[in-house]
Structure 1
Amino acid sequence: MIPSTSFNTQADFDTDWNYDYPWGTDHNGGARMNKSQVKLSDGTLTLTAKKVSGQKAASHGGQQIAIHYLSGTVHAKEHFNVARGGGYDFDAELRASTTKGTWPAFWLTGVNGWPPEIDMAEWKGSGKISFNTFNTSSQVRARDVAYPSAGDFHKFKCEVRDQNGKDVSVKFYMDGKIIETQYGKGFTGQPMYL
């Protein structure tokens, strides 16, 4: 649904992607998203963070969160909805920091509410990578594994398939090797952002 050429030129990028989160510039961390931290060059999209001061605090879950960084994020204009009997493959070549305080992620999350959430690759500044499926905030399947050579690009694949007209199976791969299969309860028919 998203062509492999979507990072070739700015025009191609603008056809398939939007800046920031679908809901705005803030999420649940100490960074505010800003288009200035997104760069496209030679077919590679680069998202960076820079330390800042004087930003208005973010609000999340009734708490005020100090903003210490401007960072970059993008989301696909297309929504992904696993239909009965259907599914998707998500493929990416990514290089991500594992430095303490960073939180890069390649993920799907619900358009109409949360959950569903599938973290196809998430780095939480621990030197590891996480593969997660959230059915609720307390019903989470998470698999953390060592992340080899953070300075190199790695290949990721996530196969999301309808299981029974209601639930989906999620198979996570890194560098061609399957890491784990997890299940999303009630994810079939739920549109998700990438």
Structure 2
Amino acid sequence: MNIKLTGSMCGAGLSLLCVMAAGAATMLSSGSTSTNLQTGSTTTLLSSGSTSTTTSTTSLSTDTTSTVSSSFSTFDFANGTRLPDKSTLSLGNATVHPGSGTAYVPVTLDRPTPNTVIARVITVNGSGTLRALSGYNYQTVDTVVIFRPGDPLVQTVGVPITSLAEGQQFQLKLREAPWGGLQGQSLATITATSALAPTPKATGTFRQPRTFAATGTLQFELNKETHKRSPDGGWNRWATSLSHGRTQIANGETGLYLDSSLFPGIEGPVYWGAQGLVLHSQKLKSPIWYEGQNWYYGASVLDGRNFIASQIGYGQYEWVARMPNRRGSWPAFWLISTSGWPPEIDIYEGFGYQSFWDFDRHISHTILGGKDGVRSFQRGVTIQAEQAYGLNGFAQDFHRFAVDIQRDYITWFVDGVETYQSVNPFQGHRWYPIMDVAVKTSGAYDDGSGDMIIKSLRIYSAP
């Protein structure tokens, strides 16, 4: 995600890559209930004659709560400035008996993960005279592997085998470094041999993704009749500026955050339309001179730093919104601590200034830690949500974007489906929300729509 402050800090969005995840993760449908208890089971994997034993952690998960035991309860988060080290994800070599119908390839983490780890893997033909070929000897696998906090440390990817003779081999590889984790062994060889025991399928119990459910008390609901805003906000209204002003030059933003009461004659940056509250970004018909320079683009923001009803410590934020799809737009839902930045929780961010970004398929979730205006860590994921979770069309229709902040974990959801989870390093903080469409371009800024439309915002407070 990005750092949204002036000064020497700059956005990290430039370094984000896309997890082009193929294949669907297991999901709970909205409203379903799943209770999953892991009881310290042990999985033993044999790979090319070697033995690896991994013991799973104990966890309990339902569609309304997230109680996951981990080794992080005694970790010193140093008041939100430190985060446990990332786990390292590796592929392991595997063996399969000639004539078998499936080969199992181990995917392992070297330690319990404090956050969701997502990796894309794909099969590759073998080499040499004993090479195995896709379509003849095995079926291509191009899929996603997801580890959630509390999961066992070993999964296996099953590869359907058509016909493998003694000594034939092919490979499984990581398409890119895993998101949320470090990269270990990125290429595994699968060999047909009767001399070694076949690599078994992992038998650990993995937590199913949660479905979103508001467990707090409804504290605020966006409503046209009661909606208020002003340039700097107030106890009962949104601000149309950020805490540090109306520009974010350090982020490379080229848009000025507008308010029609300050800049008369402009297209309304915030207004109620037929489908909801519109945050409108634009290329200005005439430049605006502000803080010593001309601004050619208009951005839009609603900031809750002074709006008491929008602030919670623990609980849930849930937006229903349709995203813009204009190149150079930078929409986001994010939270800032009422004690100052950082920390920051980014619920959704759309990097429309990046060439790879697809507004209909990509989502991004991040946390940033630190203090006194200095970031000490940043961790999160950018996901091709259609392939990873079966979610798409974020700029075509309305979708739900939510976060659940509990004392142990922070969990992100899109359309009710859990898409990311992180251990919560920010104990005792209160949060205020920001919803905005920034602009980061020097181009025409006239393709598609530059508007975010918010149909609903509900905020639930929990003890």
Q: Same fold (TM over 0.5)?
A: yes
User: How many Å separate the matches in 1 of 2:403 and 2:412?
Assistant: 5
Post-superposition Cα deviations, 1:141-161, rounded to whole Å, max 9, x if no partner, equal 121123521221101110011
CA distance in 2, matches of 1:41, 1:2: 24
Q: Which residue of 1 aligns with 2:399?
A: 154
Residue in 2 that maps onto 1:141: 379
1:123–1:58 Cα change, 3 Å: farther
Residue 190 of structure 1 pairs with residue 190 of structure 2: no
Q: Which residue of 1 aligns with 2:220?
A: 3
Amino acid aligned to 1:13? H
1:7 shift after superposition = 2.4
Distance 2:220 2:431 in 1: 18
Secondary structure of 2:351's match? Answer: coil
Q: Is the 8 A contact 2:311 2:430 kept in 1?
A: yes
Q: Distance in 2 between the 1:160 and 1:67 partners?
A: 37
Across the aligned residues of Structure 1 and Structure 2, the Cα RMSD in angstroms comes to 2.5
Alignment of 1:1-150 (within 5 A): 2-4=219-221, 6-9=222-225, 12-14=226-228, 15-27=236-248, 28=251, 29-35=253-259, 36-42=268-274, 44-52=276-284, 54-56=287-289, 67-76=295-304, 77-78=307-308, 80-82=311-313, 87-125=314-352, 126-127=357-358, 128-136=362-370, 137=375, 139-146=377-384, 148-149=392-393, 150=395
Q: Which runs of no fewer than 5 residues in structure 2 stay unpaired?
A: 1-217, 229-235, 260-267, 386-391, 434-463
Q: Secondary structure at the match of 2:400?
A: strand
Does the CA contact (< 8 Å) of 1:130 and 1:145 recur in 2?
yes
For the pair shown, which has the larger CA radius of gyration, 1 or 2? 2
Provide the rounded CA distance (Å) in 1 between the counterparts of 2:379 and 2:299: 28
Partner amino acid for 2:257?
M
Give the secondary-structure state (helix, strand or coil) at the position aligned to 2:227. Answer: helix
Q: Which amino acid aligns with 1:161?
A: Q
Cα distance in 1, alignment partners of residues 384 and 418 from structure 2: 14
**CA distance in 1: counterparts of 2:326 and 2:274, whole angstroms:** 25
Where does structure 1 lack aligned partners over 5 or more consecutive residues?
A: 164-168
State the alpha-carbon separation in 2 of the partners of residues 68 and 88 from structure 1.
39
Distance of 1:31 and 1:72 partners within structure 2: 9
> Residues of 2 paired with 1:2 and 1:68: CA distance?
38
Q: Distance in 2 between matches of 1:46 and 1:139?
A: 33
CA distance in 2, matches of 1:174, 1:159: 12
TM-score of the aligned structures, taking structure 2 as reference length: 0.35
For 1:158, the aligned partner's letter is V
Instruction: Determine if contact 2:258/2:299 at 8 Å carries over to the other structure.
Output: yes
Structure 2 SS opposite 1:32: strand
Aligned residues: 176
* Aligned residues of 2:406 and 2:424 also touching (Cα < 8 A): no
Aligned to 1:166: none
